[in-house]
Each structure stands twice: as structure tokens, then as C-alpha cells.
């Protein structure tokens, strides 16, 4: 299939050649292994590369699955533990090839981590590190303040947020936090990781996150407030980043951006202290300045695009969870009781204490408190642990009702459904790490299995990985480079039952089950865009599985 101009007539969605759905990367030898069969049959075989039957069994009915709109059966081959490559066959149909081995997730872990490098802004990507996906430096010119065009700022650097070339503080802080917590909680996973990026001196993932942090620091004003975003006035056409030469603007300070910068800089300060004390001190100073700004501005200062701008808004209804996260991280870093008082006060507001997305970050604040080495209020610690445990038990019940073993309700299949999928897996991983309850590990793995092909469309939602995988994301350089094989390691947004763009409404028939509302096409931003904060929870889950 060749790339095409997506402004022409849309093509039909790609259809998997496989009738049986598996994790196309594979399974650990000692873990549960189930293929999903969407048709009734009497038996199944697991066949090796030479055509030898290595395991046989009888599918078990999982009943009618609402999200996929059909009856499903599961083929359990957990007892097959021998390292090798296999496929599942039943009823004249077959699955994609997959592997069984202790290293099956190393490649996807490395590629989803390396994806952030390919999204760097403000620099060129050279052939040594980027291979065929190299490009020239981009977006290095000074930016203008939207509200005072006479003022210019250097805000070069950071990661392109998504399919566009914008950079957004709240989204970036969330993605960086996912990666920092992955390293903090599961450091063994990163010990041997080699991402082939230009920097050295600390684990590669920390070098990559530092690239984003250096940009975030540039977004703080002299009073400690933080500009909400740096973008052009309109989304760029589908050109390479160096060819996007429109004026860059810095948009007004928001209290959400200020709180999120305080939070992630405090978190990062504790992590980088072991590698670069001067940088850690700089991060701490920035976090404390933003906290002081929040003290001076207790009111909510939101953000909405001004007239003349149509790039991402990243608006929020309030900043309660953002402030809670900021004070929790600052307390974890400093032990200063004033921050403890402020985080407790922030908890008087109503917000979810286990949420891990960019729009609600209460779960990050809870995690900061639970992992802190500072003194804790016993009742508060118990409350936060109970919230995580209760959330995990709630998700388990939902997953147990799903034919695909995942904790996704029909409403979870919205814009960025794969973020919902992976943050639910994060909840299971956190519960295992905090409570040492290995029951949750299997549930986390099922969510990864779905992402990598054990879903109703039989597609791996990570570019470059899996025998049948997404390859045409809504991502400007992936289209403009005219290279058929997509930049690897990018997590696609996934099924969205709301069909929130014109292309999606053209190609997805009305009444399509939620899990099947997807098309692998550049034109569909509501189904197939990528973002840094969809990749980051996947990296967290993979770090948990590879390093724990």
C-alpha cells in the first residue's frame, strides 16, 4: 500500500488477514497465554515455525462481548512454555506469528521509549541516531508572546506533542512524569536499555526526559508562572518539521501549567540528584518558584484558545488535582510541612485521586505521597492506598466481564482510547508495586496483549511492531517523509466510538461496535493520531513488566 494524499477520497479501513487474535509480540513462558477466537470451533492447535503441532486444546466460550459486538471464545495455551515462535490455528483460520520467551517485550519497550527522540523539536535528527527518519533542525526561531508581539522568547526544544508540531506544558509534564515514575519504580528495566540517542552520562530514558525538562524550564516566566503552550497560530500543513516556518507564539500563563511544572520539576529534581546535582538544584528552584506563584494566585486561571488560534487547547475545568500533585511532589522532595498542609488542603476539593492522565493528575499526586520517604500521616496514607486498591478491584471486575480481558467500558472507547487502556494497566502495575499483590500482574499484561494485537481488529496499535500493525498515523513527519514504513514505536490513539473527525464518519459505518471504530489512516486524527502522553503510559507498563 502506498501513501496517498489524504485530502482525496478516503480508502476503506485495512482489514487484518488473521482470523484469530493474539499478542503479536508474544508471551512470557511462565505467564497466562490466551488467543481470542471470534467464531465457534471445536478445537485449536498451537503450531511452531516448522508446522509441528506443539499444543492442542478446546476453546472456552467467553460469551457475548459488548464492546466488540460478537461472541468470543478463548484458546488457553498457558501450559506451553517452550521458547520459540508459534501461531494459533482453528476452524481453517490462523493467527499472526508470535514468540514465547523472556525477552519478548524488550524490543517494544525500547521502541516506545525511543519514540520520544523522534519527536524532538528544536534540533535535527541525524542519521546515526534516527536512521532513515532523520531530518534537519526545526522551530529554532524566537517566539512571540501572543498578547505582546514586541516580546520574544527562546522556547526551542522539547517534544512535539502529537501529530502536530505544537508543544504543551500540561501534556509534556504528564508524559515526563510517567517516564520518571517508570524509572523511579522499575529502574532495573532501564539498566541495559540503549536507545541510540546523542546524550550520555545517565540512563538513556533520563537523558531523553531531560530534553523535555529543559524546554519546560524555558516556559516559566520571571514571576514563576508558566506559559500554557508554544505553537503556531494554526496547525501546520503536512510538511516536515523543518519546513514549518510559520511564526511561533507563546500563549498566556495558566494555573494548570504552573502547577504541573512545579510538580514534574520537583519529581525530576529527586531523580536527577544522583546524576547532576546542579541540574537537580535548578529543577528544585523552578518548582519552588511556581509553588510561590500558586500561593499568590489561589484562583483558577484556565486556558482557552484566543481568537485566531486553532491549535490544541488543553483546557481544564479546574486546577484542583494539579495543585495537589504539585504540593505532593514538593513535600516528597523537601519534607517541608508547609507543602504537606497545602496538599491536605487541596484534597478537600472533589477530584479523582487515582487519575493518571494529563487532564486529571490526582493519581500522580497520590503516587508521590505513597512513594515519599518523608514522614506520612497514617490516615492519609491509608486513604490513598485504599483508593488505588479499590480502583484496581473495580477494574478487575470490568476486565473479568470482557471477552478480551480488559477493563474498558464502552465509553472508554473515545479519542485516545489506548491511553485509557494503558493508564488502567498502570493502576494494576502500581497496585502490584505498592501492595506486592501479583494477582494484578496478569491483568496488566492482558491490557498490553490488547494493545499489541489481541483485540477485535487483530492489529498492533504500535507502529513498527507486530505482523499486522498500524502504519499510517496522523503524524506530520510520518506522512511528509514519504517513507513507507512508519517511524517505529508510536502508539496510535485507537478506537473511538464517537467518530470525532470527518474521515472517521465517512469510513466507519454507523452502529459499528466501539472496539471496531478504528481506521489506520493519516486522515483520521480522532482515531489514529499519536501523542507523547499515549506513549508514556505504555512505556511505564512495559518497564513494570520488563523490570519487575
Structural domains in the chain, CATH included, are 119-340 (1.50.10.10)
The answer to whether 540 touches 181, Cβ cutoff 8 Å, is yes
Active-site entry in 110, 164, 204, 501: 164
Indicate the average pLDDT of the chain. 96
d(CA 383, CA 376): 12
State pLDDT tens for residues 30-70. 999 999 999 999 999 999 999 999 999 999 999 999 999 99
**For residue range 112-149, what is the model confidence (pLDDT) as tens digits?**
999 999 999 999 999 999 999 999 999 999 999 999 99
The residues near 144 (Cβ < 8 Å, ≥ 6 apart) are: 151, 152, 153, 247, 248, 249, 250
Inform me whether the pLDDT recorded for 11 exceeds 70: no
Q: pLDDT tens, 70-95?
A: 999 999 999 999 999 999 999 999 99
Dump the DSSP string for 47-91: EETTS-EEEEE--EEEEEETTTTEEEEEEE-TT----EEEEEEET
pLDDT digits (tens, 9 = 90+) for 383-428: 999 999 999 999 999 999 999 999 999 999 999 999 999 999 999 9
Confidence of residue 7 (pLDDT cuts 50, 70, 90): low
pLDDT of residue 3: 44
Percentage of the chain surpassing pLDDT 90? 96
| Catalytic residue from among 316, 467, 474, 501 | 474
Active site residue 260: no
Question: Is 154 annotated as catalytic?
Answer: no
Q: pLDDT band at residue 6, thresholds of 50, 70 and 90?
A: low
Is 474 assigned a catalytic role?
yes
Say how far apart CA 203 and CA 209 lie, in whole Å: 10
Task: Please state, as a whole number, how many other Cβ atoms lie within 10 Å of the Cβ of residue 10.
Answer: 17
Measured on CA atoms in the order 496, 526, 255, 118, is the torsion positive or negative? positive
Q: Residue 411: what pLDDT? A: 96
What pLDDT is attached to residue 14?
A: 87
pLDDT one-digit tens code per residue, 165-203: 999 999 999 999 999 999 999 999 999 899 999 999 999
Given the residues 212, 412, 501, 529, the one annotated as active site: 529
Is position 164 annotated as part of the catalytic site? Answer: yes
Name the phi and psi angles at 71, rounded to 5: -75, 145
For CA atoms 180, 366, 391, 349, the dihedral sign is: negative
Annotated catalytic residue within 23, 412, 520, 521: 520
Amino acid at each position: 500500500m502506498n501513501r496517498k494524499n489524504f485530502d482525496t477520497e478516503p480508502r476503506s479501513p485495512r482489514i487484518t488477514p488473521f482470523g484469530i487474535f493474539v499478542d503479536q509480540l508474544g508471551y512470557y513462558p511462565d505467564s497466562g497465554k490466551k488467543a481470542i477466537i471470534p467464531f465457534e470451533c471445536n478445537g485449536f492447535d498451537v503450531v511452531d515455525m516448522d508446522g509441528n503441532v506443539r499444543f492442542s486444546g478446546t476453546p472456552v466460550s467467553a460469551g457475548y462481548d459488548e464492546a466488540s459486538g460478537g461472541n468470543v471464545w478463548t484458546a488457553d495455551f498457558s501450559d506451553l512454555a517452550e521458547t520459540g515462535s508459534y501461531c494459533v490455528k482453528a476452524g481453517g483460520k490462523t493467527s499472526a506469528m508470535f514468540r514465547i520467551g523472556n525477552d519478548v517485550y524488550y524490543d517494544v519497550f525500547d521502541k516506545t521509549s525511543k519514540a520520544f527522540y523522534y519527536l524532538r523539536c528544536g534540533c535535527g535528527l541525524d542519521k546515526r541516531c534516527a536512521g532513515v527518519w532523520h531530518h534537519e533542525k526545526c522551530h529554532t526561531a524566537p517566539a512571540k508572546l501572543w498578547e505582546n508581539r514586541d516580546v520574544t522568547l527562546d522556547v526551542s526544544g522539547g517534544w512535539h506533542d502529537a501529530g502536530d508540531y505544537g508543544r504543551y506544558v500540561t501534556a509534556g509534564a504528564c508524559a515526563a512524569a510517567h517516564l520518571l515514575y517508570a524509572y523511579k519504580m522499575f529502574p532495573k528495566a532501564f539498566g541495559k536499555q540503549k536507545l541510540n540517542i546523542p546524550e550520555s552520562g545517565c540512563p538513556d530514558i533520563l537523558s531523553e526526559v531531560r530534553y523535555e525538562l529543559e524546554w519546560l524550564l524555558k516556559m516559566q516566566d520571571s514571576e514563576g508562572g508558566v506559559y500554557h503552550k508554544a505553537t503556531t497560530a494554526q496547525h501546520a500543513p503536512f510538511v516536515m518539521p523543518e519546513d514549518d516556518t510559520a511564526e511561533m507564539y507563546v500563549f498566556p500563563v495558566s494555573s494548570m501549567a504552573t502547577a504541573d511544572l512545579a510538580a514534574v520539576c520537583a519529581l525530576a529534581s529527586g531523580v536527577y540528584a544522583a546524576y547532576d546535582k546542579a541540574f537537580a538544584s535548578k529543577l528544585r528552584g523552578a518548582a519552588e518558584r511556581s509553588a510561590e506563584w500558586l500561593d499568590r494566585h489561589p484562583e483558577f486561571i484556565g486556558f482557552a484558545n484566543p481568537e485566531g488560534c486553532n491549535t490544541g487547547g488543553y483546557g481544564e475545568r479546574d486546577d484542583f488535582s494539579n495543585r495537589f500533585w504539585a504540593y505532593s511532589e514538593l513535600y516528597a522532595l523537601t519534607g517541608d510541612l508547609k507543602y504537606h498542609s497545602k496538599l491536605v488542603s487541596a484534597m478537600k476539593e472533589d477530584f479523582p485521586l487515582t487519575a493518571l492522565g494529563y487532564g486529571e493528575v490526582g493519581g500522580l499526586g497520590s503516587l508521590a505521597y505513597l512513594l515519599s520517604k518523608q514522614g506520612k500521616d497514617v490516615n492519609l496514607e491509608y486513604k490513598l492506598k485504599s483508593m488505588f486498591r479499590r480502583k484496581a478491584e473495580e477494574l478487575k471486575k470490568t476486565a473479568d466481564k470482557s471477552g478480551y480481558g480488559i477493563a474498558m467500558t464502552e465509553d472508554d472507547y473515545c479519542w485516545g482510547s489506548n491511553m485509557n487502556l494503558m493508564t488502567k494497566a498502570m493502576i494494576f502495575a502500581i497496585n502490584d508495586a505498592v501492595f506486592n499483590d501479583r494477582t494484578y500482574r496478569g491483568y496488566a499484561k492482558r491490557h498490553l496483549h490488547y494493545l499489541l494485537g489481541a483485540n477485535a481488529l487483530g492489529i498492533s496499535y504500535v507502529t513498527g511492531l507486530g505482523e499486522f500493525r498500524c502504519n499510517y498515523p496522523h503524524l506530520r513527519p510520518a506522512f511528509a517523509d514519504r517513507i513507507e514504513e512508519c517511524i517505529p514505536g508510536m502508539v496510535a490513539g485507537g478506537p473511538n466510538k464517537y467518530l470525532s473527525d470527518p474521515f472517521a464518519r465517512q469510513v466507519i459505518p454507523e452502529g459499528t461496535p466501539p472496539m471496531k471504530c478504528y481506521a489506520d489512516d493519516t486522515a483520521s486524527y480522532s482515531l489514529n493520531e499519536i501523542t507523547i502522553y499515549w506513549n508514556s503510559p505504555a512505556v511505564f507498563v512495559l518497564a513494570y513488566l520488563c523490570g519487575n
